[in-house]
Structure 1
Amino acid sequence: MRRLLPLLSTTPHAGGRSALTCRYRCGDACFQEVPNTSDNEYAGDIIARALSRRSMVRAAAVVTVAAAAGTTGVLGGPGAGEAVAAPVTHGGRGHGRHPGPDGARGLRFSPVAPNTDDKVTVPAGYTQDVVIRWGDPILRGAPAFHPDRQSARAQAGQFGYNNDFLSLLPLRGERGRQVLVANHEYTDEVLMFRGYDPENPTREQVEIAWAAHGLSVVVVQEEHRSGRLTPVPRHRLNRRLTATSLFKVTGPAAGSPLLRTSADPTGTRVLGTLNNCAGGETPWGTTLHGEENFNQYFANGSSATDRRYGIGAGASERKWERFDKRFDVAREPNESHRFGWVVELDPYDPDWTPRKRTALGRFKHEAAQPRLTDDGRPVVYMGDDERFDYFYKFVSSRRMKRGDSRAAREHNRTLLDEGTLYVAKLSGDSPQEVDGSGRLPADGEFDGSGVWIPLATGDVSHVPGMTADEVYVFTRAAADKVGATKMDRPEDVEPSPRTGRVYVALTNNTDRGKPGKPGADEANPRNANKHGQILELAENWDDPTSDGFAWRLFLVAGDPKDPSTYFAGFPKEKVSPISCPDNVAFDPHGNLWISTDGNKLGSHDGLFGVATHGERRGELKQFLTVPTGAETCGPVIQERRVLVAVQHPGEVDGASVEKPASTWPDGPGRLVRPAVVAVWRRDGRDIGV
């Protein structure tokens, strides 16, 4: 008899997520005590003391690159020693503008209305198709998916579950083909298996779940005259990496005693990657994948072994520790230290073992997106998806080599092993005016300055009382010690390829301002923040060692009728409502596209485009919505195509295989399956022009 899931329909949850999502995706993280109990200060005076005159001058001198449309923005203060975010030259804050009738280039479509339809809804004049579903075969010998004939062996050759981050890369020499890379964040066993008993999973079910995690690489073929993509089964580049595949540990913490286990006394070889959320693409053709809520897979933790990552003291939700001792912290205390990293994968080399890059630190990585400095060094931006945690950057000490030679490729695949890891500290320029309501300060913006605080460089720690190995393995504790700014769940962090500005999606934080919890500050200006915001910062790319930056809030999300919302000064009556920004990506025109997770406005999650420059800066339009219970993930925005990962459709309280909450994507009577969807214009023209 199927066991009922306790209390799934009666317990309130953060944002718009169902209890089922919270249970399987992050181990009920929002119901646990906030892991960050450090006493970091928040007022502007502490950061003023921390910032040197050198840092402040550098932050004030930050200049963003001119956009292709001709708009030049400067983030900097007018006086010596100041680093405020001055208005971008976009024609004012919503007054006196005369925008044209069609929207910003790339966003000229009729916005989709908020809805609760059990389907993917796209604008008029656009169409869609499923590219690939959970269980579709991609490797030679893998069978077609059958819900009642699942096996670990079959799943290891099929597309994984709960697709999240997507990358679509060119494939030279094969006309009309591209390489699709996908993360598979987690498994919903109750929606995968008939009669699933969460207290007593079978070994076969556990091994299927192991195989459904990880990464997929699959070549896709573009249909002529449309945006449809079709998988190419058994292509030589197709690949599955699972919870039992081999990964190498590299960088300054590789081989550390903190990473050694009975199965791996070298501390350099790990089986599996878990809870891969968002990611990034490198300029040298590899992909990056962030291991996020890894803590939920481990059992029997303690304060001594956990060090602020949320590993529970009892059994895990999935009970994997019954079938592999490495998931039992009491038996293998270091195994959990081998997760929570950024993974680098080379999709073009199926023989290359992926790397876990320790120089980028260990925390709940939502994503990792690099860009190059003016002198060719990669800088990787990263968010730690937890209430009151931080955002980081890594600056490589080595420069990228151009070209496709073997020597250049080998060199570039080592760039993320040497450099300096930093954490961000922010100060507002109007802290006394921030009262938690979201009301704008008198200067019309939430803005200010910041400093990047170094944590470690190679085997040198910059954190008193911690070794370099401890900084990399317990990065959260290191950031606590240096007083980083506690943020509202920093998730995806994306630098604009046009302007160099960096955009940080802060999803929400309903604990902000609660008794005993940090109150509002200028970068996180609302207490009980259920809708989130997007932060924009600018750095000096002439000097990659510069430790100062300027910042402003680009969007403060929610219902535009809510006075606490803000859309970069654009008239709020002309934008779509948005809640809980999660993943972000840029289109070829420099617009930022935002996917949402846990919409708290009563409608389904969706994908939105927003102009970041020009007279329409802040104009936000909804492009699509996803089915019941689903989250919008992994957006890829090309000239003629938009890709989204529809994650956890049907993940609604009380749902199961026997009692589905969604019929997407294959209709009634078929198992609900996460899938990747492509959207394109019916007339074959470019998106949004």
Structure 2
Amino acid sequence: MANRNAGGRLLPLISTPHKGGRSAMTCQFRCGNACAHDVANTSGNAYFGDVVKEALSRRGVLRAGALGALVAGAGIAGAAPAMADDPEAQAAELARGGQSGDLRFTPVAPNKDDKLTIPDGYRSSVVVRWGDPVLPGAPAFDFDNQSADAQAEQFGYNCDYVTLLPMGRDRALLWVNHEYTNEALMFRGYTGGAAATEEQIKIALAAHGGSVVEIERAGAGEWKLVTRGRRRYNRRITAQTKMRFSGPAAGSDLLKTAADPEGRNPVGMLNNCSGGTTPWGTVLTAEENFDQYFVNGDKVPAEQKPYITRYTITTGTPSGNRRFDRVEERFDLAKHPQEANRFGWIVEIDPFDPDSTPIKRTALGRFKHEAANTTLARDGRLVVYMGDDSRSEYIYKFVSKNRYIPGFDRHNRTLLDEGTLYVAKFTGDSPASEIDGSGKLPSDGEFDGSGEWIPLVSGDKSYVDGMTAVEVLVYTRVAADKVGATKMDRPEDMERNPVTGAVYVALTNNTNRTAAQVDEANPRPSNKHGHILELVEKRNDAGETTFAWSLPLVCGDPNDPTTYFAGYDKTKVSPISCPDNVTFDRDGNLWISTDGNQLGSNDGMFVMPVRGKERGHLRQFLTVPFGAETCGPLVTADQRSVFVAVQHPGETDGANPDSPSSHWPDGDQPRPSVAVVWHGQGKKIGA
């Protein structure tokens, strides 16, 4: 990392080579330039290409079916009738399945404009931005006079996962994750953590975490921040908020530190990416790239080093490190080697109780969590789907031991502490010779196959040879390596369709995949544009341990023969690159946000029907400002509003506060913000 030359001229902060469509600045601050490092998964586990060579020739086994679904924070939606076990009948039913909601809007054209670009007839506004007061009495934001005390009461920096918790028809609580900080855009003259002031480091600690803010409807689809009255639910969670562990690993030796000899009281959460909500109205927020915040990983005890490496915690002081250790010693692993084990969890937060203690749920495993979306099995058990967002990592789910009971809050809040954690293993059903990287479909007409959920741990019972239950939960990646889970291309968000019950997984990209590793579920080398995987569990039941899968969307330029849009006419679809987060509207249409567009345009938000004659007809609904990533996203239950988190606007190489590359949203310094989009005549979104 450069600072200043002999003449005192400010040199570029970022000099490390990087891969992918993001700027080098984004790579540095968001994930510690993970793509520049070797893939952490060095296990001998199969890529799909290796599995396909064993070809089971079980065409469409377990294909499709309508599943009962969870209405987030509210309970169970009406379940569709169970279909026959005949796999071909199930596949046909999912493809037909009635029609998705009618979508009629003119797609937004790819662009590099510094604004939120939306379809004709739509309007947008900013709901809340970095630095806006959250707690009553918090000071107004002043870019050049920031303080840690002020930031702890103001809306945090980058905003990722967004969820809405209704408080009646016209009011709601908005939860937003604050994934990471970019000090080079937050502070003038910033040259790295080693030279930062202690106050700047404390501001960054306070800008992580999440926010709860009360919002109110301001029209047919517009929402605004409530700025008057008591606002009793408004809250900031930061990297310094006191929390507690629950579940089987709580109190274990692997979680004990000098400051917490009982191993039950972690402090703060870091790099919270996506998340989910529970049927009882709490938020699940996912800690992702926590590894980049620590120094001296090479100085942990020898027996811990393989585990440190598996979680990509590097030696010494990585270039660009924020140096949180300068104000909080716990980030120095030479002194506190187990502090890293206290991050990488799913954290449950009760937005309706501002005095509640956030809970890190150890039964859900520890890895670079991207999401934690919930549904219910047919027998009422809670199911949580989770991705591990790194190249060649895995897809997981958790199934509770006990059943969800509507209204029985005390019981329901124990469900995430007892259950079975699974990891996915996939099998393709076509001969390897038909998967050649050209994008040509195999002879059966689809990229598809079957799979199984392999159990890792249930309570104090480990299913992994040589590992205790606690070790499986704390070192989940290692456990998944041992049971032969399948390596995937950066599994990010996972969410279940509320109409069909199919689960959709965003696989963002993997430029490291070689021609020898091409397979049916990852059908091209150097997968820089990513794809969407559709997963349907046996007998329409999220509690089952076998499933079918297919690829309805292989992203990129429609003119590229390696792309695929569920068989739809590619002359009529929008180009898309790097799917990141997904959500659904009440009609079951799939909405996709992107991160790191490698087609030369700003990132955006897209919508695609997944059934009927319009299946595969993907259209771009919006683009975010220059340098930004599209996060959230959220379509409200009444389908009158779309919330989108605009993360890191202006995060481009060479940008700084004296020479910003974006001025969104207020015309001066770029400020990560949550915006809302609605139809100007109050119509349903997309109509």
**TM-score between both structures, scaled by the size of structure 1:** 0.91
The equivalent residue for 1:24 is 29
Is 2:588 the partner of 1:581? no
The equivalent residue for 1:4 is 11
Contact 2:216-2:225 within 8 A present in 1 as well: yes
Alpha-carbon offset, residue 439 of structure 1: 2.2
1:589-608 to 2 correspondences below 5 Å: 589-608=587-606
Partner-residue secondary structure (3-state), 1:258:
helix
Using the alignment, how far apart are the partners of 1:452 and 1:438 within structure 2? 28
Using the alignment, how far apart are the partners of 1:399 and 1:72 within structure 2? 21
Using the alignment, how far apart are the partners of 2:419 and 2:78 within structure 1? 35
Contact 1:66-1:73 within 8 A present in 2 as well: no
Alpha-carbon offset, residue 442 of structure 1: 1.1
Partner-residue secondary structure (3-state), 1:398:
strand
Using the alignment, how far apart are the partners of 1:247 and 1:106 within structure 2? 45
Using the alignment, how far apart are the partners of 1:496 and 1:50 within structure 2? 29
Using the alignment, how far apart are the partners of 1:71 and 1:568 within structure 2? 23
Quickly say closer, same or farther: Cα 1:483–1:370, change in 2 above 3 A.
Answer: same
Contact 2:531-2:554 within 8 A present in 1 as well: yes
Alpha-carbon offset, residue 44 of structure 1: 7.4
The equivalent residue for 2:302 is none
Contact 1:44-1:427 within 8 A present in 2 as well: no
Quickly say closer, same or farther: Cα 1:530–1:63, change in 2 above 3 A.
Answer: same
Alpha-carbon offset, residue 458 of structure 1: 0.4
The equivalent residue for 1:331 is 335
Deviations 1:116-147 (A, max 9, x none): 10100000000100001000001022100000
Contact 1:277-1:290 within 8 A present in 2 as well: yes
Using the alignment, how far apart are the partners of 2:190 and 2:671 within structure 1? 17
The equivalent residue for 1:306 is 308
1:460-471 to 2 correspondences below 5 Å: 460-471=461-472
Using the alignment, how far apart are the partners of 1:38 and 1:252 within structure 2? 26
The equivalent residue for 1:423 is 423
Alpha-carbon offset, residue 608 of structure 1: 0.3
Residue identity opposite 1:4 in structure 2: L
Using the alignment, how far apart are the partners of 2:341 and 2:582 within structure 1? 28
Contact 1:307-1:474 within 8 A present in 2 as well: no
Using the alignment, how far apart are the partners of 1:164 and 1:156 within structure 2? 18
Alpha-carbon offset, residue 318 of structure 1: 0.5
Quickly say closer, same or farther: Cα 1:495–1:89, change in 2 above 3 A.
Answer: closer
- Decide which of 344, 347, 350 is 2:354's aligned counterpart: 350
- Decide which of 211, 217, 233 is 1:216's aligned counterpart: 211
Deviations 1:397-451 (A, max 9, x none): 1111112xxxx22221221111000000000001412123332111111000001
The equivalent residue for 1:178 is 172
Alpha-carbon offset, residue 330 of structure 1: 1.2
Quickly say closer, same or farther: Cα 1:11–1:545, change in 2 above 3 A.
Answer: closer
Residue identity opposite 1:612 in structure 2: V
Is 2:9 the partner of 1:13? no
Alpha-carbon offset, residue 71 of structure 1: 11
Q: Structure 1 regions of 5+ residues with no counterpart?
A: 93-98
Residue identity opposite 1:462 in structure 2: Y
1:353-364 to 2 correspondences below 5 Å: 353-364=357-368
Quickly say closer, same or farther: Cα 1:34–1:74, change in 2 above 3 A.
Answer: farther
Is 2:396 the partner of 1:392? yes
The equivalent residue for 1:507 is 508
**TM-score between both structures, scaled by the size of structure 2:** 0.91
Contact 2:435-2:519 within 8 A present in 1 as well: yes
Alpha-carbon offset, residue 89 of structure 1: 5.8
1:487-498 to 2 correspondences below 5 Å: 487-498=488-499
Is 2:201 the partner of 1:197? no
The equivalent residue for 1:625 is 623
Deviations 1:531-568 (A, max 9, x none): 00000011135666532111101100001111111111
Contact 2:66-2:94 within 8 A present in 1 as well: no
Using the alignment, how far apart are the partners of 1:50 and 1:412 within structure 2? 42
Using the alignment, how far apart are the partners of 1:534 and 1:296 within structure 2? 28
| Count of aligned pairs between the two proteins | 660
Alpha-carbon offset, residue 349 of structure 1: 1.3
Using the alignment, how far apart are the partners of 1:607 and 1:40 within structure 2? 34
Using the alignment, how far apart are the partners of 2:632 and 2:12 within structure 1? 29
Residue identity opposite 2:370 in structure 1: E
The equivalent residue for 2:73 is none
Using the alignment, how far apart are the partners of 1:273 and 1:451 within structure 2? 32
1:648-667 to 2 correspondences below 5 Å: 648-667=648-667
Using the alignment, how far apart are the partners of 1:66 and 1:264 within structure 2? 42
The equivalent residue for 1:60 is 62
Quickly say closer, same or farther: Cα 1:64–1:89, change in 2 above 3 A.
Answer: closer
Contact 2:363-2:459 within 8 A present in 1 as well: yes
Partner-residue secondary structure (3-state), 2:222:
coil
Contact 1:58-1:546 within 8 A present in 2 as well: no
Structure 1, 342-351 or 286-295: larger mean CA deviation? 342-351
Alpha-carbon offset, residue 352 of structure 1: 1.5
Partner-residue secondary structure (3-state), 1:410:
helix
Contact 1:395-1:419 within 8 A present in 2 as well: yes
Identity of aligned residues (%): 58
Residue identity opposite 1:661 in structure 2: S
The equivalent residue for 1:33 is 38
- Decide which of 187, 198, 222 is 1:227's aligned counterpart: 222
Deviations 1:583-608 (A, max 9, x none): 00011111010000000000000000
Using the alignment, how far apart are the partners of 1:34 and 1:61 within structure 2? 32
Using the alignment, how far apart are the partners of 2:447 and 2:14 within structure 1? 40
Residue identity opposite 2:648 in structure 1: H
Quickly say closer, same or farther: Cα 1:436–1:542, change in 2 above 3 A.
Answer: closer
Quickly say closer, same or farther: Cα 1:290–1:89, change in 2 above 3 A.
Answer: closer
Is 2:154 the partner of 1:147? no
Partner-residue secondary structure (3-state), 1:416:
helix
Is 2:368 the partner of 1:373? no
The equivalent residue for 2:554 is 556
Quickly say closer, same or farther: Cα 1:44–1:627, change in 2 above 3 A.
Answer: closer
The equivalent residue for 1:413 is 413
1:511-530 to 2 correspondences below 5 Å: 511-513=512-514, 519-530=517-528
Partner-residue secondary structure (3-state), 2:558:
coil
Residue identity opposite 1:36 in structure 2: N
Residue identity opposite 1:13 in structure 2: K
Alpha-carbon offset, residue 59 of structure 1: 5.5
Residue identity opposite 1:314 in structure 2: G
The equivalent residue for 2:3 is none
Alpha-carbon offset, residue 4 of structure 1: 2.2
Is 2:266 the partner of 1:260? no
1:421-460 to 2 correspondences below 5 Å: 421-432=421-432, 433-460=434-461
Residue identity opposite 1:230 in structure 2: L
Contact 1:85-1:447 within 8 A present in 2 as well: no
Quickly say closer, same or farther: Cα 1:50–1:349, change in 2 above 3 A.
Answer: farther
The equivalent residue for 2:536 is 538
Deviations 1:213-243 (A, max 9, x none): 0010000011134423233455000000000
Please tell me the root mean square deviation across aligned C-alpha atoms, in Å.
Answer: 2.7
Contact 2:83-2:539 within 8 A present in 1 as well: no
Contact 2:161-2:275 within 8 A present in 1 as well: yes
Alpha-carbon offset, residue 457 of structure 1: 0.2
Partner-residue secondary structure (3-state), 2:44:
coil
Using the alignment, how far apart are the partners of 1:484 and 1:538 within structure 2? 18
Partner-residue secondary structure (3-state), 2:553:
strand
Using the alignment, how far apart are the partners of 1:593 and 1:182 within structure 2? 19
Partner-residue secondary structure (3-state), 2:613:
coil
Partner-residue secondary structure (3-state), 2:501:
coil
Residue identity opposite 2:141 in structure 1: F
